[in-house]
Each structure stands twice: as C-alpha cells, then as structure tokens.
C-alpha cells in the first residue's frame, strides 16, 4: 500500500487513483471508500467510476470539471474517506454444485495440491470472500480470500466455451463466470444463480464491495434451483 495515493493522467478524460500494487483487503477498502465518497459527492463533471483491486478509474468531462479541479476533489474526498463508516458486511450465499458434470477441473486441482476433492470443496467453501471488482465480462466477480492451499495456475489451454455460473480458480483468485464465454480458469463447480440479467433493475447480482460465501449443493438441488 502506498503512503500516499498516486494520481495518474489517463488521456484527456480520465485519471487513475492508485492506492497500492498488491491485492489485499486494506488497499481495496481505500478504493471502496473513495468510490463511495465521490459517488456521494455527485459532482456533475464525473461521468463514471470504476473500482478495481487497487485503484479507482475516474472518467470525467473536462468541459465541466478541469483536471486540476478533479485532483483537488479526489484529494479532499480521500481525506474524508479515511473516516468513512465501516462497509456493509452482509454475506451473500452462493450455492455451488461441485459434482463432476459441473466442476470438470476439480479432480485436477485436487491432484495438483495432493488433496482429496472433498478437501478442496471444504477449503473453497470455508472463507468469506470479498468481491474486489467486476470485469472481463458483464458481472464477472473477482473474489479475494482464497485459501493459499488452493492457489492454482490457470489452464495452459483456455476453453473456447465456459458455461454461465461456472466457478473457477486462477492463481490466488476465485471467480464466477456470469455468461457463456471463453476462459482459462480451473473450473471446480457451478452455481445456478443468474449473475447477470440485463432485464433486472440491477443487472449484476454481485457488486464490488460485496461479501460472498459458497455453499455446496447436489446436482438435484442445482436442477431444482435452475427450474424455479
């Protein structure tokens, strides 16, 4: 984590405010606090805010808000955000079926770590994960907090098609594919939840800053949930 945030100029209409160079809860909390402070400020010159693991990208209208004014606003909000209220820690339940048809790479991950498949499932379901950011595809949730014993490299040959709802592992992260897409993560399960629905009032089921816990379910439960 940097002693002081770095403000980087990103073209004519954007800046990036970087708080560190690692993936950790403390750095991400600073990102979330600044995001909340700027959103609350509702400055007309700010067009969009995109939080990531360690930085906040701000798109702005230079005709409404100059670069210098925006930097001052960021600095002011960074100071006020340091005293921000604690984040909402409601934990969202995500059911996952880890059976072979839904987790084709579970056995491979287990062999890589010299663990049983049951142990992998137990380790994967134990933590409360933080949604660090949304990206890659609409609603793809990058989750931090994966047990070190499950850190697994991406697949050497990515799949051309990954089913929606697939739960995967890549290095120190776990995540959920919201739509059918290519992907190189190790697939260990699948959730029947619909993470992205453009027709919902809030299209994304998970948002940056949310907390998630996985819960194992059977194939029958998966089918029942999918048909409900």
Output the CA torsion 48→51→55→56 (10° steps).
Answer: 20
The whole-number pLDDT of residue 36 equals 87
29 versus 123: which is more confidently predicted? 123
Q: What is residue 86's predicted lDDT score, i.e. its pLDDT? A: 54
pLDDT for residue 218:
96
Tens-place pLDDT, residues 155-212: 999 999 999 999 999 999 999 999 999 999 999 999 999 999 999 999 999 988 899 9
- Per residue in 7-65, pLDDT (tens digit) is 999 989 999 999 998 888 888 889 988 998 898 888 899 999 998 889 999 999 999 99
Rounded mean pLDDT of 125-133?
94
Closest CA to 161 of 139, 183, 143: 183
Q: Are domains 6-81 and 91-227 of this chain identical in fold? A: no
pLDDT attached to residue 39: 87
What is the structure's pLDDT at 79? 78
Domain 91-227 matching CATH 3.90.380.10: the answer reads no
Domain ranges of the chain: 6-81, 91-227
SS3 label, residue 59: strand
pLDDT at 114 (0 to 100): 98
State the pLDDT at residue 140. 94
Strand ranges, E, within the chain: 6-9, 14-18, 46-51, 55-60, 91-97, 129-134, 141-144, 159-162, 166-170, 173-176, 181-183, 186-190, 211-217
Q: Give pLDDT, residue 64.
A: 93
* pLDDT greater at residue 122 or residue 76: 122
Answer CATH for 6-81 from 3.90.1150.10, 3.40.50.1000, 3.30.1360.40, 3.40.640.10: 3.30.1360.40
* Contact status, residue 180 vs residue 164, Cβ threshold 8 Å: yes
Region of residue 171 (phi > 0: left; psi between -120 and 50: alpha; otherwise: beta): left
pLDDT for residue 22: 83
Residues 87-120 have pLDDT tens digits of 566 799 999 999 999 999 999 999 999 999 999 9
User: In this predicted structure, what is the pLDDT of residue 42?
Assistant: 86
Picking from 208, 172, 210, 212, the residue whose alpha carbon sits closest to that of residue 51 is 208
Tokens of 185: 């993560």
């Amino acid at each position: 984590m940097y002693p002081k945030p770095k403000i980087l100029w990103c073209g004519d209409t954007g800046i990036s405010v970087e708080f560190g160079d690692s993936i950790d809860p403390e750095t991400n909390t600073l990102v979330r606090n600044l995001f909340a402070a700027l959103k609350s400020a509702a400055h007309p010159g700010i067009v969009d805010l995109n939080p990531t693991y360690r930085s906040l990208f701000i798109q702005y209208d230079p005709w409404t808000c100059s670069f210098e004014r925006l930097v001052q606003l960021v600095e002011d909000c960074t100071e006020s955000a340091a005293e921000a209220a604690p984040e909402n820690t409601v934990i969202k339940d995500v059911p996952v079926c880890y059976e072979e048809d839904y987790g084709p790479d579970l056995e491979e991950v287990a062999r890589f770590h010299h663990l049983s498949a049951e142990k992998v499932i137990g380790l994967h379901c134990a933590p409360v994960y933080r949604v660090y950011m949304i990206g890659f595809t609409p609603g793809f949730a990058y989750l931090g907090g994966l047990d070190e014993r499950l850190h697994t490299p991406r697949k050497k040959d990515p799949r051309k098609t990954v089913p929606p709802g697939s739960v995967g592992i890549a290095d120190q992260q776990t995540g959920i594919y919201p739509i059918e897409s290519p992907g190189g993560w190790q697939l260990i399960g699948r959730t029947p939840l619909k993470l992205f629905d453009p027709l919902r009032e809030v299209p994304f089921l998970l948002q940056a800053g949310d907390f998630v816990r996985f819960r194992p379910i059977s194939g029958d439960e998966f089918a029942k949930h999918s048909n409900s």
